[in-house]
Structure 1
């Protein structure tokens, strides 16, 4: 028999740090990853093209090349939840494919989150897309039996 692992596509346990590069280059850090770098108001991206490593370093917003961090959704009031960082220009600069969202488990090195693009990533399924598809099927009268 040739078994294949079912890839659930959902987020891992919240205690495991993750960095996701979403479609079109938006970065999202879960709370565990954001805490690893000290919950900064801004970050800067660093790139090692030879090793294919992305580094995300916390910096003050007054730092040249700083990108602001922002909490997403209602959790932002509790200082928990997903943190978004606009990174489309950076992903274009390094030439990474952002047609599909992908997630990595980073490591902490010298106070920076390191995302190793050589490591396997998890493809992230969009819950919005699944919701839209389900609504479309309901409207067209097609249902699974």
Structure 2
């Protein structure tokens, strides 16, 4: 009798880079690659290095004192994953006048975003037009 394996979506390697978007009004979204880089946590801590202007995300149990829950946007199970960062962005005076996306990188167990880099301005795709979407939004 054959020894079958069940194919799951997790078996497909992620080839896309981790992206973090700070949206208008401070909501933060992580693409599937960023979520996977953090080992798919239920919650994260929001970290900030004021002198280097680096935002960090560290996976923590959702019961942790400083945990911010991650949720899949619109009930999708493959992301993007959203965290409420409004108070965080206000406290650290992080510009949220336009939505911007940065490439994230791992430093030990922390997903980092360097705000000294310009990032990429992103626009909503709610108008139904695909022209406003960038290729990495589907990540």
Normalised-by-shorter TM-score class: 0.7 to 0.9
1:43-122 residue pairs with structure 2 within 5 A? 43-76=44-77, 80-122=78-120
TM-score calculated relative to the size of structure 1:
0.75
| Equivalent residues, number | 116
Deviation at 1:73, TM superposition (A): 2.5
Task: Give distance in 2, aligned partners of 1:14 and 1:70.
Answer: 22
Considering only aligned residues, what root-mean-square deviation do their CA atoms show, in Å?
1.7
Task: Give distance in 1, aligned partners of 2:24 and 2:63.
Answer: 28
Task: Indicate the residue corresponding to 1:5 in structure 2.
Answer: none
Task: Give distance in 1, aligned partners of 2:18 and 2:53.
Answer: 20
Deviation at 1:74, TM superposition (A): 4.5
- Greater helix share, 1 or 2? 1
Task: Indicate the residue corresponding to 2:8 in structure 1.
Answer: none
Task: Give distance in 2, aligned partners of 1:131 and 1:101.
Answer: 18
Checking the alignment, whether the CA contact within 8 Å between 1:14 and 1:31 is kept in structure 2 is no
Deviation at 1:107, TM superposition (A): 0.6
Task: Give distance in 2, aligned partners of 1:120 and 1:98.
Answer: 13
Gaps of 5+ in 1: 1-12, 133-145
Larger Rg: 1
TM-score calculated relative to the size of structure 2:
0.78
Q: Secondary structure at the match of 2:76?
A: helix
Gaps of 5+ in 2: 1-13, 130-139
Task: Give distance in 1, aligned partners of 2:125 and 2:72.
Answer: 19
